[in-house]
Amino acid sequence: MTSSQSSLVKTQPMPLGFREDTLVSNLLLDPNNPRLSAAEPTTDQAELTRRLWVEMAVDELVYSIAYNSYCKTEPLLVVQNSEGQAGPDLEKMVVIEGNRRLAAVKILVDDHLRETLKITSAPTITEAAKAQLAASQ
């Protein structure tokens, strides 16, 4: 199991009602995110992460989470994936509120994603810090 698969973030399913911990690997960025509406549509999660990194100041969140931890008082809002991202992703949840936070967490805990996106300016955290980030969710 990779670090990103064992990382948990607080989510709140829609309709609102209860909270649960969800594996980061079971969360998808929203391809219909209005922050990305000007870009060519895609469901590719790495590309969505790249766009958020480049266009939406996710680097600030990465630094904040790396040095101050994840704010547990603001859960991600999610819906069950029902369209647009079929196949193995059909069972996952789509984040409809908190895409920048999810992208920041994924960048911190997934070294492969950082390498794929060529993100070298973000802080790196130790495996222990990754585990702590996961446990603090």
Which of these, 52, 25, 12, 29, lies nearest to 134 by C-alpha position?
25
Pinpoint the alpha helices (H) of 14-96. Answer: 45-55, 58-68
Q: Higher confidence at residue 115 or residue 75? A: 115
Does 11 score more than 70 pLDDT? Answer: no
**Mean pLDDT confidence for 29-42:** 82
Residue 118 has pLDDT above 90, yes or no: yes
pTM: 0.78
Place 53 in a pLDDT band, splitting at 50, 70 and 90.
very high
Q: State yes or no: pLDDT of 125 exceeds 70.
A: yes
pLDDT over 50 at 17, yes or no: no
**Domain residue ranges of the chain, discontinuous segments joined by +:** 3-135
